[in-house]
Structure 1
C-alpha cells in the first residue's frame, strides 16, 4: 500500500526565476568523463545518448556533470570545457545546442553545472603544459587524508598551486559569464555555479585555503565577494528568467576552516544576490564525503528518513537562512521513496538530488519512485556492489577515484545503449 509520498514527490515547484519543475526529483551532477580532448572537449554523441535516456525518466530537472569554464584546467581529462571562442564557433554552438535538445527532448528542464577545479586540476587534463602550476586563491597544496600512498599521490599529481593574480580573477569572472551565455544560447534553462567539493570557488570561500589580504580574502565578506560577483555577472549577461543555481558544501564545512554561522551567512547573502536554487552537498578531496558508497537500498521505514539524507540537518538550517523565495535541493544518501518524501515534508528541503542511483536506473522516477503501481516498500533504489573493490579502504583517495570511475562506466554503458551492470567487478585491473 502506498502513502502520500508520491503526491509529495510529484508536486510541481516554481522557482523564483519562473521556471516550473514538474516534480521534486532532480538528476544531480556526476563525473561523466566522456568528452574527447582531441575534439576540444565538446559535447559528443555519448552525451546526447545518455541525456536523452535521462530525459525520458520524468525527472523534475536534470543538472549536467562538470563543465569546466577554462579549457586549460580540467578536473579529469573527459570533462566538457568551454572554449573562449565558443559563441563564435559554429561547431561548438551546434554541439551544445544538440546536447540541450537531447536533454530536454521529453520536456525536462536542464541546467549546466559550471566549474573550475583550481588546485584540484589533474595535470594530464586540459590544454596547459604539464609543468605549469594549478591556480588557487593562495599557494597552499591539498592535504590528502589516509595512507602514505594517498598523500604521496596528492603531492606528485597535484603539487603546490600558484596564487591567482587579480587579473586572473577578473578573467575567471568572464569565463563563468561566457559559459552561462553559451548555455543560454544553446537552449539550456540555466546554470549551476559549483562552489562545493573543494573546487576553486570553494577554495575562495575557505579561510583555511584563502590566505589573501586583498579584496578577495581576509574577511568573510571578502572571501564571498568573488562568488557574488560571478552571480551578478551571469545574471546581467543572461536574463531574469534564466535559472541560476549554486552548489555549496554542507556540514563538512569545518574541514574548510569554516564555522556553521559563516556558512549560513553565505547562504543568506547568496540568496539576496538573486539566485533561484541552492544545492546542499558535501565533501572535498581532503574529506571525500560526497563519494562515500552506500551499498544496497535503505529499508523503507519512517525511521530511515533522518539517516538516509547525509546532510539533512544542515539543509534545514540553510532552508531558513535562504528565505522562502530560494529553493533548497539536498543531494546525498537518498535511497527510498519514503526517505525522500519525508525530508521534503519535514521542511529540510524542496528538491531531492539523485546522482549515483541514476547510473543504474536512468529512468528511476518513471519506473519506480513516481510509479503508483510500485509500493512504498519496493520504491527503493537498486542495490549495487563493486566486486573486487576490497582494496579501496586501504587507499581511500585512490579508491574513491576508482569507485567514481565505476559509476562513469555505468553512464557510458547507458550512452552505448546497454543496460547498466550492477555486478561489474572492479579490482586493481579496473583502474587501467
Structure 2
C-alpha cells in the first residue's frame, strides 16, 4: 500500500504514500537564500524515492524567523535561486511543496527582540531566548495574510507544485488559533471562527494567487497539550473549515515550544493503541476522520513498514510523513517499497547526552548538505558543539545582511 499512487483534490499526483516531512534545515546562504547546501540536501532526498518532498520553514517575513539560517521569500527573496531548489527537490520525479511560515512570538531574540504576535503574551519558561511579543494591529495581521499569498506565488513561479502553510507548533498562525496566546477582541480573536480567520484568509489568498491546480497543504496541531489551549474539538472545527476552503492535504501534528510534542511525540499519557501503532498523532487523525474527508498526512513515530501500512489501512492517514528516519537513511522510501528493508534503523537510542538528540539530527542534515553520508557514530556532544557554532555563524550572517 505504501507504494500506491495518490491523487490530491487539486490534481497533483504522489507516486507513493511516503512523504519527506518538512524539517527546518537552517542552512540558507548569507542573505537567507536557497543555495548549494539546500540543493544537495533535497536532491539526495529526492533520489531516495519519497512520493512527496516538503521543504522546511521558508519565511514570509524577514524579521520573523524560526532560526537565522532559514530561507526568506519576501519581496526581496531570490526566486531564481529557489527555482534551483525546486528542481533538485523534484529530481526523483515526485512533486515538491514549499513549507511557508511566520515564526511570530517564537522568533529568536537575536533575530527580533520584539516579535509580532496575536497578543502580548510572552512564552513561559520555554521562552528563554525569545523576546517580548508585541500585539499586532489589524492592519499588520492583514499584511501577513497578503504575505502568505505573495510568498506562495513566488514558490509557484520557482516551480514548486504546492505549498504547506505552517499553522502548527506555536508559530504565528498556530498562536492565533490558541486561546491562551490570542486574547484579541477584534475580528481576529475571541471565537474559534475569529481565531481561525488569519489561517483561512491566508488559504484564500494563496488560492486566489496560485489557482486551482496548485496544491495547498496545512500543517495543523491536533492539540497544543496545554490546559485551556487549542484542543482536539478546536482542531475538528478548523479542519472542517479548511476542507470547505479547498485545502488539498492536512498534516496532523501537535505541541509548541511550551509543550514540544512535535519533538518528542505527545506527552507521556499516550494511549496504548498509539504506542502499538508507532505514530504519535494517529489517534487524533482517526478522530478527525470521523468529521472530515480531506486527505490527511500523519507524521511522527513511524519506523516500520508494518506500522505505515496499518496506518494507511485504518483510513486515518492517506500519506505517511517521515522526518528523522530520512536524516539517517535518505533512501529509506525506495528500500521500503522495494522490500529491501522493513524498518528504519534506530541509532538515536545510543545518542548521549539525550539533550543533544536534536543537534545530532541537524548534524546529519548538514552532512548531507555537504555531499557526505550521514554518520550515526557522531556523538551527541560533538554534534551539539558544531550545531551551536553554525547557529552563531548564521546569526552573524543574518545581522550583517
TM superposition score normalised by structure 1:
0.84
The DSSP-based 3-state class of the residue aligned with 1:381 is coil
Equivalent residue number for residue 137 of structure 1: 118
- Superposition deviation, residue 252 in structure 1: 4.0
- Superposition deviation, residue 371 in structure 1: 1.2
> Does 2:189 align with 1:217?
yes
Contact 1:253 1:263 in 2 (8 A): no
- Superposition deviation, residue 319 in structure 1: 2.0
Equivalent residue number for residue 396 of structure 1: none
- Superposition deviation, residue 253 in structure 1: 4.5
> Does 2:346 align with 1:383?
yes
The DSSP-based 3-state class of the residue aligned with 2:165 is strand
Equivalent residue number for residue 316 of structure 1: 286
What is the total number of aligned residue pairs between the two structures? 380
Structure-2 separation of matches of 1:58 and 1:344: 18
Equivalent residue number for residue 148 of structure 1: none
Contact 1:17 1:276 in 2 (8 A): yes
Structure-2 separation of matches of 1:55 and 1:388: 27
Contact 1:26 1:61 in 2 (8 A): yes
The DSSP-based 3-state class of the residue aligned with 1:112 is strand
Contact 1:305 1:343 in 2 (8 A): no
Contact 2:59 2:74 in 1 (8 A): no
The DSSP-based 3-state class of the residue aligned with 2:169 is coil
- Superposition deviation, residue 426 in structure 1: 1.6
Equivalent residue number for residue 413 of structure 1: 367
Which of 58, 66, 71 lines up with 1:75 in the alignment?
66
Contact 1:306 1:312 in 2 (8 A): no
The DSSP-based 3-state class of the residue aligned with 2:186 is coil
Structure-1 separation of matches of 2:171 and 2:368: 28
- Superposition deviation, residue 259 in structure 1: 3.7
Q: Structure 1 pair 305/22, CA: closer, same or farther in 2 (3 Å)?
A: farther
Equivalent residue number for residue 31 of structure 2: 40
Which of 15, 33, 38 lines up with 1:22 in the alignment?
15
Equivalent residue number for residue 298 of structure 1: none
The DSSP-based 3-state class of the residue aligned with 1:80 is coil
In structure 1, stretches of 5+ residues that fail to align are 1-7, 87-91, 145-150, 295-302, 393-398
The correspondence of residues 23-172 of structure 1 with structure 2, limited to 5 A, is 23-36=16-29, 39-86=30-77, 92-125=78-111, 132-144=113-125, 154-155=127-128, 157-172=129-144
Structure-1 separation of matches of 2:25 and 2:385: 20
Structure-2 separation of matches of 1:305 and 1:165: 43
Structure-1 separation of matches of 2:265 and 2:313: 26
Which of 192, 210, 215 lines up with 1:238 in the alignment?
210
Structure-1 separation of matches of 2:351 and 2:218: 36
Structure-1 separation of matches of 2:138 and 2:223: 31
> Does 2:371 align with 1:371?
no
Contact 1:21 1:109 in 2 (8 A): yes
Equivalent residue number for residue 181 of structure 1: 153
- Superposition deviation, residue 379 in structure 1: 1.0
The DSSP-based 3-state class of the residue aligned with 2:97 is strand
- Superposition deviation, residue 123 in structure 1: 2.1
Contact 2:74 2:147 in 1 (8 A): no
The correspondence of residues 176-325 of structure 1 with structure 2, limited to 5 A, is 176-255=148-227, 257-292=229-264, 306-323=276-293
Equivalent residue number for residue 5 of structure 1: none
- Superposition deviation, residue 83 in structure 1: 3.0
- Superposition deviation, residue 255 in structure 1: 4.8
- Superposition deviation, residue 19 in structure 1: 0.5
TM superposition score normalised by structure 2:
0.90
CA offsets per residue over residues 283-313 of structure 1, 9 Å max, x none?
A: 211111111289xxxxxxxx88744010111
Contact 2:274 2:281 in 1 (8 A): no
Structure-2 separation of matches of 1:385 and 1:261: 34
| Root mean square deviation of aligned Cα | 1.9
Q: Structure 1 pair 387/379, CA: closer, same or farther in 2 (3 Å)?
A: closer
Contact 1:253 1:260 in 2 (8 A): no
Q: Decide which moves more: 186-195 or 165-174.
A: 165-174
Q: Structure 1 pair 49/182, CA: closer, same or farther in 2 (3 Å)?
A: same
In structure 2, stretches of 5+ residues that fail to align are 267-272, 390-401
Structure-1 separation of matches of 2:228 and 2:37: 36
